[in-house]
Amino acid sequence: MAVRLKVKNAETGATVEMELEVENTIDEVIESAATFWSKDMGAYVLRRGKKVLRGGSSLEDAGVVANDVLELIPDPEGG
Amino acid sequence: MDRDRYDRSRRIPWLDMDSVFRSGVLIVGAGALGNEVAKNLALSGFRKMTIVDMDKVVGSNLNRCLFFTDDDVRRGSQKAEAVARGVRAISADAEPRAFVGRIEDFPEAEFRGHDVVLGCLDSIEARVHVNLRAYSRGITYIDGGIEGLLGKVVVVVPPEGACLQCGMNRTHARVAELRFSCTGKDVVMHTPRLPAEITTTSVVAAIMVREALKVVSSRPDMLLKNGFLYDGQRNVSEEIEIPLDPSCPVHSKH
């Protein structure tokens, strides 16, 4: 089953619409969005509301539904 | 009253200063975050600290590290020792101990004797290592990360809570793999220098130490649950939640 959702780039505020299958994983969404925005190599997380989504989860298991807005956030690595 | 160094701290009702004086803190990483964290801990009354870092002070550290000086650069001082010296300079009661080496070489048994671990690291592999060590010993781990004007703090409370690794995904694994394949273990090559400045570092270090104060004051009800994001460009901050991942290796090993 296909699901349309938006991913927001936390750094720029830009959004991209994606049409995905419910079997797609959060990891795949992260990588697609990072590639779309030509993000630097680095760690990123995807969140819905306040909750960070588990990379290996399918969209279905993560509870993602049509028209959700997910946010791509860099995971700061430096110290 | 004004002779008591901690008079103002004692006026904070939930703060258990006796526990602060007694508690042991492990600071892993003595870079920008490690400097700020150590300063905040010392001024807050913590006395027993172990500071771990393998690196020497270089000139480019000086825009964000309180305890490093040009003299440290000239002499090639070890970061852990320079921070320990700095802590002694601002708190006569403090008993900082420096461990010069990789955290992977820090004896496992020495994690015991610390009531809280503060991660001030700059690599995913080291974070994963510390997260596992602290979790398996039931020690609260507070991890800080910075990149330019972005900052993050995660509070890991075993044995029930999610851990740092629960919030990692394939992008973290790719970064760790690439660094490992480029470097062997000890020599860092092809690693982009991350942007870093003091204001974001100060914010993140302040949150980390405030959470440590809550831990040793036995106020788990006040702790972050379980992450904090800071964006200094837009001046926004918020709590985030990292859910426990039952398939996370830390929880299956634990």
- Number of domains making up chain A: 1
- Number of domains making up chain B: 1
Domain harbouring A16, CATH code: 3.10.20.90
In a domain, B2, yes or no: no
Domain harbouring B78, CATH code: 3.40.50.720
**Residue A77 forms contact with B (CB below 8 Å):** yes
**B124/A77 Cβ within 8 A:** yes
Looking up tokens 């002070």 gives B57
Give exposure, A58-77, as e/b (b: 16+ Cβ within 10 Å). Answer: bbeebebeeebebbbbbbbb
In a domain, B217, yes or no: yes
pLDDT tens over chain B, length 254 residues = 789 999 999 999 999 999 999 999 999 999 999 999 999 999 999 999 999 999 999 999 999 999 999 999 999 999 999 999 999 999 999 999 999 999 999 999 999 999 999 999 999 999 999 999 999 999 999 999 999 999 999 999 999 999 999 999 999 999 988 765 544 454 454 466 678 899 999 999 999 999 999 999 999 999 999 999 999 999 999 999 999 999 999 997 65
CA triple B18-B46-B71, angle to 5 deg? 160
**B124/A52 Cβ within 8 A:** no
In a domain, B45, yes or no: yes
What is the predicted pLDDT for the residue at B191?
60
In a domain, B224, yes or no: yes
Is residue B88 within 8 Å of B96, Cβ to Cβ?
A: yes
Please tell me which of the candidates A27, A54, A75 has its beta carbon nearest to residue B145: A75
pTM reported for the whole predicted model: 0.95
In a domain, A37, yes or no: yes
In a domain, A79, yes or no: no
Please tell me which of the candidates B147, B171, B240 has its beta carbon nearest to residue A76: B147
Is residue B121 within 8 Å of B29, Cβ to Cβ?
A: yes
Q: Which amino acid is at B218?
A: S
Listing DSSP states for chain B in one string gives -TT-TTHHHHTSTT--HHHHHH-EEEEE--SHHHHHHHHHHHHHT--EEEEEE--B--GGGTTT-TT--HHHHHHT-BHHHHHHHHHHHH-TT-EEEEEES-GGGS-GGGGTT-SEEEE--S-HHHHHHHHHHHHHTT-EEEEEEEETTEEEEEEE-TTTS--GGGG--HHHHHHHHHHHHHHTTT---SPPPPP--HHHHHHHHHHHHHHHHHHHTT-GGGS-SSEEEEETTTTEEEEEB----TT-HHHHH-
In a domain, B213, yes or no: yes
**A26/B238 Cβ within 8 A:** no
Structural domain boundaries, residue B74: 7-253
**Residue with the larger pLDDT of the pair A40 and B12:** B12
What is the mean pLDDT of the segment spanning A52-58? 97
Q: What are phi and psi of B95, to 5 degrees?
A: -125, 65
Structural domain boundaries, residue A35: 2-74
In a domain, B1, yes or no: no
